[in-house]
Chains A and B, each alone.
Chain A
């Protein structure tokens, strides 16, 4: 009996420690209270005092998203002292039953549209106006080892007008635009929308744009410095 209780206490203390580690700032809750017994002291298996500095928390820089679709009163930008905040719709209510993704709004807008789950207006007042959709794929070969980029006009013209991109963001001519990843991440070129409103740039979304596999015999070009390296 006592062993079970002890085991329970240890398990609970451990869960306290893990919760504390997740809390922002990583301030351990255990230390905050009037110094309770730690699991280490109960088991005696770990050094008495683990003096881990706050500079050495496991994730120093990674910020995990707790709830990507938090309801307005809990999302950190809406004021809860404002009564109307509670009249706003929580995103999860709207997204019920939609195809999910792991980034952005965490929903697949392209699929939601194509599956007929939404039918947003193309005209402010007339719900009957059909969008002018153009199905033209532009392949952009990439020097790096990642798959080549395919820019599909179809999902873009379903949402946008030609004038949203041409000519201010892109000259409407194949290969006439200099595009690279740094510019995109900084919010230029594709990054005007991707990373702001349409799906963002994360490890999980690279393949949405980099979707055409390289030929089987492709090898990355060697850099000049490596070819000329006298110590090679």
Chain B
């Protein structure tokens, strides 16, 4: 009889173990967006729209960097282009393609404005952002011990 209760106890432990293990798998994991996804949020939050998420990986399958960064004049700086909807509907920046001809048109607000509200402008997975401490700065040549 005693042996039986003990066995149930062991089973309970085993069951708990399985449940906790499954639970552990379902726990939210550290966020990891695709490398080079750009969140653009200079104005969106303030205007009550979700921030914009621009996926580099998706666009570079279709276009070389040259198209956007030389021809269309996107500067190499997240948030550095001061993009607004007025410029987009005038055919600048995203609007050079998201015009219903090269790609779907601007009425698909949610496709671009898909970020979590409050996310600051940044480029995800960048080396600087992943450093565990501020980056090492080179010695100033003048201040080096002679």
Please determine whether A36 and B36 come into contact, CB atoms closer than 8 angstroms: no
Residue A53, interface by CB 8 Å: no
- Among B23, B97, B117, max chain A CB count under 10 A is at B23
Contact A16 B20 (CB under 8 A): yes
Q: Decide if A158 touches B128 in the complex (CB within 8 Å).
A: no
- Confirm or deny: B87 has a beta carbon within 8 angstroms of a beta carbon on chain A: no
CB-defined contacts of A19 to chain B, threshold 8 Å: 20-21, 24-25
| Chain A CB within 8 A of B48 CB | no
Query: How many angstroms between the C-alpha atoms of A183 and B131 in the bound complex?
Result: 14
Q: A9-B14, A19-B24 are in contact. Are A200 and B33 (CB under 8 A)?
A: no
Do A159 and B66 touch across chains, with their CB atoms under 8 A apart? yes
Residues of A within 8 A of B55 (CB): 88
A83 to B31, CA, bound (A): 20
| CA distance in complex: A164, B66 (Å) | 8
- Whole-angstrom CA separation of A164 from B11 in the bound complex: 65
Contact in complex: A164, B69 (CB < 8 Å): yes
A78 with B30: CB separation less than 8 A:
no
Q: CB within 8 Å of A: which residues of B?
A: 3, 6-7, 10-11, 13-14, 16-18, 20-21, 23-25, 27-37, 39, 50, 53, 55-58, 60-67, 69-72, 76, 96-97, 102, 108-111, 113-117, 119, 123-128, 130-132, 135-138, 145-146
Task: List A residues at the B interface (Cβ < 8 Å).
Answer: 2, 5-6, 8-9, 12-13, 15-16, 19-20, 22-24, 29-30, 33, 36-37, 42, 61-63, 65-70, 72, 75-79, 82-85, 87-89, 91, 94, 104-106, 109, 118, 120-125, 131, 158-161, 163-164, 180, 182-183, 185-187, 191-197, 200-202, 224-225
